[in-house]
Structure 1
Amino acid sequence: RVKFYTGVVSVQMFHTLLSFILSFWQPELTSLQPQEQLVLVLMKLRLGLLNDDLACRFRVSAKTVGTVFHAWLDILSCNLAKLIVWPSQRAVRRNRPCAFHDPVFRNVIGVLDCTEIFIQKPSYMLARSQTYSRYKHHNTVKVLITVSPSGAITFISRAWGGRVSDKELTLKSGLLNIVREGDVYLVDRGFRCQEMFAAKGATLLIPAFTKGKKQLSGAEVTLSRKLSRARIHVERAIRRLKVFRIFQTVLPISFVKKSGDGAMCTIDKALIVCAALTNLQLPLLKK
């Protein structure tokens, strides 16, 4: 049941993670041992538990829960970010799963998608406007995710207000700085950023749509079906990420506040940690 409570695949993996962190960092002394502190942090991420709930379970104060959570999250996000790796074109081809053996996917490096996470309504009108998502009809933050053909998360942006467009988010995320000439990415119909990727020598594969046409040609229908089937895998990877129930809750405003320019907010750190833990699971697709 370790995976259910912590999101870590096994007890052995949990102890490996704990030993790795303790090899260079010692947490602040509390009534909780380091092992208990890590369990507390992972339970908050995996189960989305409130601090008061965790305080009762671990017999500490809610303030201690908050202190432990943020201290460990800082360390985990800094060090587990190394598990989110942008792959070389050669590595992607070498590990290409059967579902991507079709010639149309020959140069596909990844699948791009955006996902949104609910947040509380900000008190300031400007922030309220910047975070209101017309798609979700709620205040949200939005992140851009890239998933490799095998299902590994290879890029995750920082969170931006839910009102941001896919195009603006792509520009702000820094993704274009690592896109290479010859790269091909699968995207949904609504992801209209072809020009930005073309300027980098990259291509977006988009399912055809009937705008301005009475119907699609047979070739367009066949290609669109192939692309849609392949895109299902990025949706499965995002579902893996959202198994961490903290992303299914309505997050407090404190999670999206930054301490200064360039600083990461709590939601950014949580996304990195959970994406890294997701990458430690078995590949979604086999070679």
Structure 2
Amino acid sequence: MNWLIIWPSADGVRENLPIAFRKRYSKAISTIGCFEIQIEKTSNASHQAATWSQYKSYNTIKYLISITPDGLINFISEEYGGRTPDSTIFEDSGFLDKLVQKSIVLADRGFKNISHLLEKHGCTLLRPPSESSNSKPSAEEVLQTKRFAAIRVHVEKSIGKLRDFKMIGLHACFLDNVVTIACGLVNLQNCLFSNQV
């Protein structure tokens, strides 16, 4: 089902750009996130350590997922242990090889220290403003965060559709294949986002 996970051309993405993206994110080619799947705790101590997710507080397998602005899953990485930082997966997964120059990639705050990697490829990273525990965000930062959250929800909806497949997580030894099949099936469903949204 790999053939159902395609990387469309920049022109193809722009032709299907939802209204919500057109004003501020018209050059966005991808919204990325990490998708974690809970797994059983293994008896091997090194595997336990590699798959422990501090964020989830249980053992997980993690994937980098990318969707186009209109909701098509256009990239899914191989599996990584839940302990692997998002930035490491981003650099190691082959995602950067898919990008064309002048592309914009949207990511959440978890993707720290990846701007320089995108800049080497002639691309730009957009993230919500950083939060500081010592200072109150400005009105502009609050507005930017809200706008960004409205766009970022798209990748969360795609991940939600993947979670609807109960087979994910049941077959740990074939998990990469199962996740690829689920991504292909999500892409076969109706478009997540109407052009009128």
Question: Where does residue 115 of structure 2 map in the other structure?
Answer: 194
Question: Where does residue 145 of structure 1 map in the other structure?
Answer: 65
Question: Where does residue 278 of structure 1 map in the other structure?
Answer: 186
Work out the number of aligned pairs and report it.
194
Instruction: Give the alignment's Cα RMSD to 1 decimal.
Output: 1.5
Decide which of 79, 88, 91 is 1:168's aligned counterpart.
88
Decide which of 156, 160, 170 is 1:239's aligned counterpart.
160
Q: Find the residue that maps to 2:74 and give its secondary structure.
A: strand
Tell me: higher relative CO, structure 1 or 2? Use CA pairs within 8 A at least 6 residues apart.
Answer: 2
Higher helix share: 1
Q: Mark the runs of 5 or more structure 2 residues left unpaired by the alignment.
A: none
Task: State the distance in 2 between where 1:183 and 1:206 align.
Answer: 14
Higher strand share: 2
Deviations along 1:56-107, whole A, 9 cap, x unmatched? xxxxxxxxxxxxxxxxxxxxxxxx21110011111111110122122x1010
Deviations along 1:15-72, whole A, 9 cap, x unmatched? xxxxxxxxxxxxxxxxxxxxxxxxxxxxxxxxxxxxxxxxxxxxxxxxxxxxxxxxxx
Instruction: Give the TM-score taking structure 1 as reference length.
Output: 0.65
Given that 1:86 and 1:155 are in contact with CA atoms closer than 8 Å, whether structure 2 keeps it comes out as: yes
Question: Where does residue 151 of structure 2 map in the other structure?
Answer: 230
Task: State the distance in 1 between where 2:92 and 2:124 align.
Answer: 19
1:110 to 2:30 alignment: yes
1:82 to 2:11 alignment: no
Q: Aligned-pair distance for 1:213? A: 6.1
Deviations along 1:86-137, whole A, 9 cap, x unmatched? 11111111110122122x1010011100011011112211111111111111
Q: Find the residue that maps to 1:105 and give its secondary structure.
A: coil
Q: Mark the runs of 5 or more structure 1 residues left unpaired by the alignment.
A: 1-79, 257-265
Question: Where does residue 45 of structure 2 map in the other structure?
Answer: 125
Q: Aligned-pair distance for 1:219? A: 2.8
Task: State the distance in 2 between where 1:120 and 1:268 align.
Answer: 16
Identical counterparts, % of pairs: 35
Instruction: Give the TM-score taking structure 2 as reference length.
Output: 0.93
